[in-house]
């Protein structure tokens, strides 16, 4: 994750500044505030700002009858209750803002979560850096035959070498052509005075999706946990999951009680349908149940059995 000297200097300056405040702060999150937390080969996640903490959630939940905070154990129980029963508005009282550097194809997945404020680096106005994502060997996998969105066995040997060769050559070539079409040096002067450069907004269009972009992404605690419940899940695509895993750690630093409840009820738990719950009750009663007579589709049955740690 190479950072330019200017970026490093800016981060060091931000982290060195001390500001007296009466607002709530999260000490553990303050430790990594502004720091570039590495993800993938050139990416990072930075926490830029935040508002509120676990106490803000509790305060919002209790405002209807004016009860103040009593003990941490009571706060934990209340936050567990709120997440367990799918309450949302108390968690919307907390907000966090990230600076994220990520491959364009990951960004196109990420942007489907429309419950955030986003401002992305513009290649209409600026020139993209020559930084592109190449998977590590253990993540270079074939298409799954059973899941159209999944991966299967890891490629190896000559097949893997050929894919890596194509990825690198294609990425290098499109950037070479991108820079040729721009006809613009780092100082803004034409590389070839004999011709005009193509507009930046057009020159960018042949860059591949593994090139890196950046954005500021601000969301509230409720929608952050919804994002993480999907993207930190074991079934999520590895590349976006790598970002989500880092963000789960920032959640722990920011709101440890909400993080604890999130792991217990969302990321580590499961939801049962009405039919699925009836099946669990029958199994607990010692009744044999088969998929054909369960009322579930084959896929729903497999998922239920997997969540229960039983073979299909």
User: Catalytic residues, which ones?
Assistant: 231
Q: Using CB atoms within 10 A of its CB, is residue 240 exposed (0-12), middle (13-18) or buried (19+)?
A: buried
Classified as helix, coil or strand, 63 is coil
Classified as helix, coil or strand, 271 is coil
C-beta neighbour count of 144 within 10 angstroms: 12
User: Cβ(258)–Cβ(132) under 8 Å?
Assistant: no
Going by C-alpha positions, the residue among 208, 28, 47 that lies closest to residue 131 is: 208
Give the Cα separation of 129 and 177 in Å (integer): 14
What tokens appear for 271 in the block? Answer: 């939801």
User: Cβ(78)–Cβ(58) under 8 Å?
Assistant: yes
């Amino acid at each position: 994750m190479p950072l330019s000297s200017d970026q490093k200097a800016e981060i060091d300056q931000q982290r060195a500044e001390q500001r007296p405040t009466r607002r709530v702060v999260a000490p553990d999150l303050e430790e990594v505030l502004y720091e570039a937390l590495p993800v993938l080969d050139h990416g990072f996640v930075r926490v830029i700002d935040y508002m509120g903490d676990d106490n803000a959630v509790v305060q919002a939940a209790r405002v209807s009858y004016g009860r103040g905070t009593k003990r941490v154990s009571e706060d934990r129980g209340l936050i567990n209750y709120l997440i367990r029963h799918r309450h949302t508005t108390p968690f919307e009282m907390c907000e966090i803002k990230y600076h994220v550097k990520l491959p364009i194809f990951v960004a196109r997945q990420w942007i489907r979560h429309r419950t955030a404020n986003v401002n992305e680096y513009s290649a209409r106005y600026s020139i993209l850096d020559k930084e592109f994502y190449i998977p590590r060997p253990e993540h270079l996998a074939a298409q799954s035959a059973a899941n159209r969105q999944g991966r299967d066995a890891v490629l190896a040997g000559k097949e893997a070498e050929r894919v890596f060769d194509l990825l690198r050559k294609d990425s290098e070539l499109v950037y070479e052509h991108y820079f040729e079409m721009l006809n613009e040096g780092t100082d803004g002067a034409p590389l070839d005075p004999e011709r005009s450069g193509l507009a930046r907004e057009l020159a960018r269009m042949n860059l591949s999706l593994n090139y890196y972009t950046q954005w500021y992404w601000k969301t509230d605690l409720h929608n952050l946990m919804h994002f993480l419940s999907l993207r930190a899940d074991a079934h999520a695509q590895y590349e976006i999951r790598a970002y989500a895993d880092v963000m789960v750690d920032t959640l722990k630093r920011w709101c440890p009680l909400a993080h604890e409840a999130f792991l217990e009820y969302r990321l580590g738990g499961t939801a049962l349908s009405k039919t699925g719950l009836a099946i669990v009750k029958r199994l607990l009663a010692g009744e044999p149940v088969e998929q054909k007579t369960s009322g579930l589709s084959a896929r729903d049955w497999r998922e239920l059995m997997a969540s229960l740690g039983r073979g299909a």
